[in-house]
Structure 1
Amino acid sequence: MDSTRSHEALLTMKLLALSGSLRRNSYNSAALVALTRLAPSNLEITIGDIGSLPLFNPDIENNDIAAVQQLKSQLAQASGLIIASPEYAHGISGPMKNALDWLVSGVEFPYKPVMLINTSPRASHALNALIEVVTTMSGDIIDSASVTIPLLSSELDADGIVENREISAVLSNGLKEFCQKIEASIP
Structure 2
Amino acid sequence: MTSPRVLLVCGSLRAGSTNEAALRAALDAAPPGTSGEVFGGMGALPHFNPDDDRDPPPAPVAALRSAIGAADAVLFCTPEYAGALPGSFKNLLDWTIGGGELSGRPVAWINVASPAAPAGGADAHASLRKVLGYAGAEIVEEACARVPVTRPDLGPDGRVRDPALRDRLGAPLAALLAAAARGPAERP
TM-score (norm 2): 0.86
Residue of structure 2 in register with 1:72 after alignment: 65
The structural deviation recorded for 1:80 is: 0.6
* The one of 125, 128, 147 aligned to 2:126: 128
2:49 matched to which residue of 1? 57
| 1:47 maps onto 2:38 in alignment | yes
Out of 99, 108, 119, which is 1:115 matched to?
108
Aligned with 1:25 (options 16, 22, 26): 16
Give the equivalent residue in structure 1 for 2:6.
15
Other-structure match for 2:160: 161
What letter corresponds to residue 44 of structure 2 in structure 1? S
Aligned in 2, Cα 1:17/1:73: closer, same or farther, shift over 3 Å? same
Coordinate RMSD, CA, aligned: 1.9
Q: Tell me how far apart the structure 1 counterparts of residues 152 and 101 of structure 2 sit (CA, whole Å).
A: 35
**Equivalent position of 1:102 in the other structure:** 95
Distance 1:160 1:99 in 2: 24
Q: Distance in 2 between matches of 1:37 and 1:163?
A: 12
Aligned-residue identity in percent: 29
Runs of 4+ aligned residues of structure 1 deviating over 6 Å after TM superposition are none
Structure 1 residue 159: deviation in Å? 6.2
Q: 1:176 aligns with which of 157, 174, 183?
A: 174
Unaligned runs of 5+ in 1: 1-7
Cα offset, 1:109, TM superposition = 1.2
Specify every segment of 5 or more residues in structure 2 that has no aligned partner in the other structure, as ranges: none
Match of 1:105, SS state, is helix
2:142 to 141, 144, 158: 144
* Equivalent residue pairs, number: 177
